[in-house]
Chains A and B, each alone.
Chain A
Amino acid sequence: EAGVVQSPRYKIIEKKQPVAFWCNPISGHNTLYWYLQNLGQGPELLIRYENEEAVDDSQLPKDRFSAERLKGVDSTLKIQPAELGDSAVYLCASSLSIQQETQYFGPGTRLLVL
């Protein structure tokens, strides 16, 4: 069974440029999460989807970040415009709705904003 797939793995952009990350969760997992992980820190939740509905986006900086999960399967996270402080690893995870304590993570996208 394939795990959580993310692309790209690495991205280098200049500040003020837009960037997008893509995630395909484990088949059958209704719940999808986007996390941000800074160096030496644990993952911090940005947004959680139940199917196509964003049920927790309280930590998403909505002035520059947006996300979508149109068909309730794969998801895209966008930053526009990117700032230097956005340099981090963006992790996607998925779980069965009734087992949110067991999340499965993708490898992450490492973003560097210059």
Chain B
Amino acid sequence: QKEVEQDPGPLSVPEGAIVSLNCTYSNSAFQYFMWYRQYSRKGPELLMYTYSSGNKEDGRFTAQVDKSSKYISLFIRDSQPSDSATYLCALAGTYKYIFGTGTRLKVLA
């Protein structure tokens, strides 16, 4: 079993839709939970990180962590064509930092 599972997509949505991106993980030792955005031919860019279970909001983005279910989500409200990218979840614990495979998102104008 992989330590982190992420649906690779691709996910296509119309402009203005609410997008839900998810990862599940197996190791309860992970303490930090991150979401990165990666545009084509660019390096990943940190969007959000959170430590505790619950929600964290930043503009149109909301990160949600459920440690009891080992499930993390990123919600994008009012999605825009400029949000079209690959979204990677990442988990960090003591001396360990792993990425999901990424979900490709395309927002159609």
Give chain A's interface residues, CB within 8 Å of chain B. Answer: 4, 40-45, 56, 91, 93, 100-108, 110
Contact = CB atoms under 8 A, between A and B. Distances in A.
Contact of B43 (A40, A45, A102, A105): A105
B45 to A, nearest CB: 7
Nearest to A101: B32
B101 interface: yes
A101 B34 contact: yes
Interface in B22-67: 32, 34, 36, 41-46, 49
Nearest to B100: A42
In the complex, which range does the number of interface residues on chain B fall in?
Answer: 20 to 34
Interface of B: 6, 8, 32, 34, 36, 41-46, 49, 88, 90, 92, 95, 97-102
Contacts, number: 49
Given A40-B8, A43-B99, A105 B45 contact: yes
A104 B45 CA distance: 7
7 contacts: A41-B102, A43-B88, A93-B43, A101-B32, A101-B34, A102-B34, A108-B43
Nearest to B32: A101
Contacts of B101: 40-42
A108 B41 CA distance: 8
B88 A104 contact: no
B43 A42 contact: no
Contacts of A108: 41-43
